[in-house]
Amino acid sequence: MFGGLTPLVIEQVEDVGDRIVVRARTPPVAAACPDCGALTARVHGLHERTVGDVPLDARRVQVVVRVRRLVCPTVGCRRTFREQVPGVLQRYQRRTVRLQVLVGAVARELAGRGAARLLSKMAMPLS
């Protein structure tokens, strides 16, 4: 059902009427610093990211991911960084990668208002 979220650990799935909320977290494995590449699992803090995912049963799916802020062990490198989840979340995005691909395909084929109407009917509203 949530095959595109396999790199995450799904903790809870809630039915909230008009949408489905999936609560997940990243697995507790070491991550590489984006600047120096050093591996670390030392957690500085946690924060949540909320992103949209492909609809299920004609209802929106909202994924709330708890992401770790890690401390880089290398002296002189950046102090902390947020871990990324390749294939699921991209930096600064509000949609999962697979939802972004679907939205992009519909937008290229229909363009403009037609795409916006169709996506709205498919429980993938755009602003």
Residues 6+ apart with CB under 8 A from 119: 103, 106, 107, 125, 126
Confidence of residue 25 (pLDDT cuts 50, 70, 90): very high
Summarize pLDDT for 47-99 with one digit per residue, the tens. Answer: 999 999 999 888 899 999 999 999 999 998 888 999 888 888 888 888 898 88
Distance CA 117, CA 18 (A): 18
Residue 127 is predicted with a pLDDT of 64
Helices within the chain (DSSP H only): 97-110, 112-121
Query: Would you say residue 1 has pLDDT above 70?
Result: no
Average pLDDT over residues 106-121: 81
